Chain A
Amino acid sequence: MKKLINKPDDVVREELEGLALAYPDIVKVHFEPNFVYRADAPVEGQVAIVSGGGSGHEPMHGGLVGVGMLSAACPGQVFTSPTPDQMLEATKMVNGGAGVLHIVKNYTGDVMNFEMAADMAREEGIRVLSILIDDDVAVKDSLYTAGRRGVGTTVLAEKLCGAAAEKGYSLEEVAGLCRKVNINGRSMGMALTSCTVPMAGHPTFDLPEDEMEIGIGIHGEPGRTRMKLQTADEITEMLALGIIEDPAYKRTVREWDEGQSEWVEVELVDPPFKKGDKVLAFVNSMGGTPAIELAIVYRKLHEICEKKGLKIVRNLIGPIITSLEMQGCSITLLKMDDELIELWDDPVKTIGLRWGM
């Protein structure tokens, strides 16, 4: 293992120390329990948004904290979900009295830890709603698996919900917006190489020099197929068509019902894309793929969207939801409307995304 680290045990703490020193105008960092939060938190009267997950996906989530995006982010160990005490303390720190939305990626550990944290926060009198992001079309089945994983749409939901909170949306409205973004966003990723978790010291999986994994998860979970390496155009087409031609996806997710004061099963259906839809196209590097290659992917994606009658009205290109140093990319398409376009264009100031201010 060759990495720019000191000791594997210290990776997450030292990263957080670095962020705190580098960006004091954007974020503050709390240690034990660990979380990154807006430098100006709490913002009185504004809905706060908390997310989190395993480390190793930087800049997500800590680098997405700031004005117009997340209020706080809870980093776990590399690829391991954070613990409920982190989310509880972060929730208390950023609560401005208008309630807190937890945006949770659909992984078994994240879901369990966030549910416990939300229950604890409510016991302390804070209003908390939770929305799951499950947008990875590489997982077809929700009956015999833990369901679709939360990937690229998470970033878009965090930006859009952050903007909505700044605009004064209520907690229910921000949660509703997040649910809408989730069902209208779809993603798929691929890997050219594996990645090495610092604590493990060796690559997570073996991928021969001339092969690739289509449908990879952001922790190196296997996808749909492993095949011989192909060109950027062919790979882009596989990912794009996997997303565009994905049929309606139905599953139940758990959400907190404030009226009944309990977790309830909610059935959600993702509507398929159709001709004439406006979309946001997000081309993401898994960490090891350089910008030059992302532009090549975007070029082909643009062509495919045009051919399929989808109009790209906004885009995002870069390494935002990464998998350590893995080479590969993911594509996310989100169906846009006027509300989402306006929220997307609103100012944001985080370590990873910044415009308009």
Chain B
Amino acid sequence: MTKSQVLKWLEATAAVIEKNRQYLTDLDSPIGDADHGINMDRGFKKVTSKLPGVGDKDIGTILKTAGMALVTSVGGAGGPLYGTFLMDAGKAVAGKDELSDDDLVALLDAGLKGVIRIGKTNLEDKTMVDALHPALEALKEAVADGKNTVEALHLMTDAAHEGMKATIPMLARKGRASYVGERSIGHQDPGATSSYLLLKTLTETVEAEGQTPFGTSA
């Protein structure tokens, strides 16, 4: 994955989040506080505004800058969680201008560990970890099996999609959704959904080789 693809991925994610702003907010209504899409949209708009300033920097710096932009603009739990995801992912690939498949694994692994550290999250708490964890496992396995980058990323995205769908029957144990208790069952987690969109957009960006993948939706 090249630096230009990383920049395009972040820009494309901003477009995808904007397009799914209402959808993410609607998912957040029955079990949260109906602001996930609004907050993520505000955050990724800030990310987009910061990208021109770091276009000539390494991938680690780009991701850390994007993460800090999220931390200082999203608020709620989403800001620290997604901000830490990108900042820790950035630290794992500091100084690099191009990412090998192993670097992609390291990036996702560091980002996920950051989310778990900040959120003190376990699997099946009905959070973004339920999409990110299986995605990382699938990516690791695909890279170990010698799949090419696009194939490996597709397997990662498929696993994230499955993980996202698997949150529907779960009982929420973290965040505001936990207050709904039993009533959280039957609703797809908005955080797992935005995590899936982030990874799906990454895959599409690498696959498109320069085309920006608008039109993504869950």
Q: Which A residues fall within an 8 A CB radius of B?
A: 33, 54, 76-77, 79-85, 107-109, 112-113, 115-116, 139, 144-146, 149, 197, 199-200, 204, 217, 219-222
Question: Which residues of B are found within 8 Å of A222, using beta-carbon distances?
Answer: 179-180, 183
Question: Which residues of A are found within 8 Å of B179, using beta-carbon distances?
Answer: 139, 145-146, 149, 217, 221-222
Query: Which chain B residue has the least Cβ–Cβ distance from A33?
Result: B72
A144 touches B77 (CB 8 A): no
Q: State A219–B175 Cα separation when bound (angstroms).
A: 13
Given contacts A80-B33, A80-B35, A112-B79, 12 further A-B contacts (CB under 8 A): A54-B75, A81-B75, A81-B76, A83-B73, A108-B175, A112-B81, A199-B35, A200-B25, A220-B33, A221-B33, A221-B180, A222-B183
A79 touches B33 (CB 8 A): yes
Interface hub of A79, A113, A222 (most chain B Cβ within 10 A)? A113
**Quick one: which of B35, B79, B176 contacts A113, CB cutoff 8 A?**
B79
Question: Which residues of A are found within 8 Å of B38, using beta-carbon distances?
Answer: 199-200
Which interface class (under 10, 10 to 19, 20 to 34, 35 or more) fits B?
20 to 34
Question: Which residues of A are found within 8 Å of B79, using beta-carbon distances?
Answer: 81, 83, 109, 112-113
The yes or no answer to B34 lying at the interface (CB within 8 A) is yes
The yes or no answer to B164 lying at the interface (CB within 8 A) is no
- Report if A145-B181 is in contact (Cβ < 8 Å); known contacts: A197-B34, A199-B38: yes
Chain B positions 154-176 with a Cβ under 8 Å from a chain A Cβ: 171, 173-176
Interface string of B166-210 (1 = CB under 8 A from A): 000001011110111101000000000000000000000000000
Q: State A310–B183 Cα separation when bound (angstroms).
A: 36
The yes or no answer to B13 lying at the interface (CB within 8 A) is no
Q: State A76–B74 Cα separation when bound (angstroms).
A: 10
B5 to chain A, nearest CB (A): 29
Query: Which chain A residue has the least Cβ–Cβ distance from B42?
Result: A77
The yes or no answer to B123 lying at the interface (CB within 8 A) is no
Chain B positions 59-105 with a Cβ under 8 Å from a chain A Cβ: 71-81
B35 touches A200 (CB 8 A): yes
**Quick one: which of A83, A116, A220 contacts B74, CB cutoff 8 A?**
A83
B73 touches A146 (CB 8 A): no
A321 to chain B, nearest CB (A): 17
A199 to chain B, nearest CB (A): 5
Q: State A139–B181 Cα separation when bound (angstroms).
A: 10
Query: Which chain B residue has the least Cβ–Cβ distance from A86?
Result: B72
Question: Which residues of B are found within 8 Å of A149, using beta-carbon distances?
Answer: 179
Question: Which residues of A are found within 8 Å of B181, using beta-carbon distances?
Answer: 144-145
Query: Which chain A residue has the least Cβ–Cβ distance from B178?
Result: A145
B33 to chain A, nearest CB (A): 5
Question: Which residues of B are found within 8 Å of A200, using beta-carbon distances?
Answer: 25, 34-35, 38
B178 touches A109 (CB 8 A): no
Query: Which chain B residue has the least Cβ–Cβ distance from A199?
Result: B38
The main secondary structure of chain B at its interface with chain A is helix
A221 touches B118 (CB 8 A): no
Per CB-CB distance, the 6 closest pairs between chain A and chain B, nearest first, are A109-B76, A145-B178, A112-B80, A109-B77, A80-B75, A108-B77
**Quick one: which of A79, A113, A144, A217 contacts B80, CB cutoff 8 A?**
A113
A110 to chain B, nearest CB (A): 9
Question: Which residues of B are found within 8 Å of A76, using beta-carbon distances?
Answer: 75-76
Q: State A145–B182 Cα separation when bound (angstroms).
A: 11
**Quick one: which of B29, B39, B80, B175 contacts A80, CB cutoff 8 A?**
B39
Interface string of B21-43 (1 = CB under 8 A from A): 00001000100011100110010
Q: State A84–B70 Cα separation when bound (angstroms).
A: 11
Question: Which residues of A are found within 8 Å of B71, using beta-carbon distances?
Answer: 83-85, 116
Query: Which chain B residue has the least Cβ–Cβ distance from A77?
Result: B75
A32 to chain B, nearest CB (A): 10
- Interface pairs (27), CB distance under 8 Å: A77-B35, A77-B39, A80-B33, A80-B39, A81-B75, A81-B79, A83-B72, A83-B73, A83-B74, A84-B80, A85-B71, A107-B176, A109-B79, A109-B80, A112-B80, A113-B79, A139-B179, A144-B173, A146-B176, A197-B35, A199-B35, A200-B34, A204-B33, A204-B34, A220-B33, A222-B179, A222-B183
Question: Which residues of A are found within 8 Å of B178, using beta-carbon distances?
Answer: 144-146
A343 to chain B, nearest CB (A): 32
A82 touches B35 (CB 8 A): no
